[in-house]
Structures are given as structure tokens and as C-alpha cells.
Amino acid sequence: MGERKRVLVTIKTYPQPSRSHQELVCTAGVLDDGSFIRLYPVNFRYRPYWQWYKKYEWIEAEVEKNQDDPRRESYRPNLETIHPTGEWIDTKKNWAKRKPYVLPLVSRSMEELRERQEAENVSLGIIKPKEISALIVEPDEPDWKPKHQELFRQLKLFGPEQKTLEKIPFKFSYKFTCDDPRCNGHQMMIEDWELGQLYLSMRDKHGGPEIAAEKVRQKFYDQMCAADRDTYFFVGTVARYGTWIVLGVFWPKR
């Protein structure tokens, strides 16, 4: 029997194929007490529509510590108990209602978070980069790995209804430095659901992958990291490797 938690969702990653769940979305957010929590696994698109939740919406769910995931913040939700409350926090008055849940959790730097990762098994955080110098766009494999393609074929033949899950054929990474004398610079992959959805929308609208990738760069760098924006990164670790990636962006005006 798990414990019921109330979570303000601040992070949703782009779906990844899964043999046991068809696909998985890493969801994370902030509890009532102001601490981070990760809900994993969640097969978001395969939940009933009434269970779909947005970023910055409060949800409730029964959870228990995920024994298969040693990261400090990771909890396994009882998927049947996920309940979006309909309480969504808007961006009015320069994100004033969101800031009390986000800004108190800001860490000084990636260097500090890596120290806490070693000492406390911390795997989620928010940082304010000192300088964001680029958004790097690199070609990636256009198709899923053979093991995932085989999984999709098996599910179509023998499993429940299989929804299309498109592979994003580019890797997007932020290049930045931290306000920490130990910082030698970072280049970190971005796995935000919104980035993947923006790419697919722009590709369909403008008819080409290169144009879509440039539209993503314009949004996630030119706009979200502009000089008039007070930009922060939500960051977290990849379970298998312990490496840090960017999971989302918080970008009110200065």
C-alpha cells in the first residue's frame, strides 16, 4: 500500500519505448513540502484521457519508493490512482505564482549538484547558468534501434493498440557555464517533451526536418535564453548512467 502524494508537475520528458509499458515518460515535480519527486514509470499516452496532466498542474497519486531505482527522488506511482486535480498554475504577472515552487530549489551550479549526487544520491535539481553560449543541433539516428523496432512489430501483432511514437532525428544540447570557479563548461542533452512536440509540429507545418530543427533552436535558444529572460534549467540524471541532462526550462522575464 503506497502513500498518497500531491505533486506539482514541472517536468515531462519525451516518450521512450518500453518493452513492459509500451512507452515511458519521466514525470517529476514538487511536493507540498517543497521537495522534488520523480514519478517513474508512467506510460502517459496510454493512460485514459482523463488522467492526462499538463506541466504546472497539481496531480494526486498513490506512490511508493521505487526499489528498482536507487535515485533519491524516484517513486513508483500506482498508475490507476493518478488524478489530475485541474489546478493549473498560470504564467500571469511574469510567472509570479510559479516562482515560489521553483526558485527556492535552485542550486548554485552543476558542480554543486554533482557533489550532492555523490554524497546524497540527489538526481534532480534546478540551476541558473551564468552564460548560455549555444544550443547545439546534431543529427541523430532517424529510426529507433532495432530492438525497439522489433518491439513495435510485436506489439502491433500481439499486443494492445500501438500508438505512433516518432523518433526525433536530431540531438539538441545546451552549451553553458555555471557561476562556480570549478566550472569548466557543460554541454547537456535536452529531453523536454515540449521540445519533441515542437519539432514534430514545425516539421509538419514547414515540411522539412532541417527547418523544424532551426525552429526549435530559435524557440529554445533565441527566445527562451534571450537577454531579457531570467533562464533556469531543470536537470536530472539518466538512471542507467548517472549522467545529467536538461529536462526543462524555466524562463520568466528579468
Question: How high is the mean pLDDT in each 10-residue block of the chain (254 residues)?
Answer: 92 89 91 95 93 97 92 95 97 97 97 96 97 97 84 68 88 98 97 97 93 97 98 95 96 96
Q: What was the pLDDT predicted at 1?
A: 63
Q: What was the pLDDT predicted at 68?
A: 86
Q: What was the pLDDT predicted at 71?
A: 93
Q: What was the pLDDT predicted at 113?
A: 98
Q: What was the pLDDT predicted at 139?
A: 96
Q: Structural domains in the chain?
A: 3-94 (2.40.50), 106-250 (2.40.50)
Q: How far, CA to CA in Å, does 153 sit from each of 34, 164, 169, 174?
A: 43, 12, 20, 34
DSSP string, the chain: --EEEEEEEEEEBPPEEETTTEEE--EEEEETTS-EEEE----GGGS-GGG---TTEEEEEEEEE-TT--STTEEEE-GGG-EEEEEE---HHHHTTTHHHHGGGEES-HHHHHHHHHHH---EEEE--SEEEEEEEEE--SS--HHHHHHHHHHHHHSSPPPP-PPPSEEEEEEEE-SSTT---EEEEB-BHHHHHHHHHHHHHHS-HHHHHHHHHIIIIIITTSTTB--EEEEEE-TTT--EEEEEEE--B-
Spatial distance between the Cα atoms of 224 and 1, rounded to a whole number of angstroms: 42
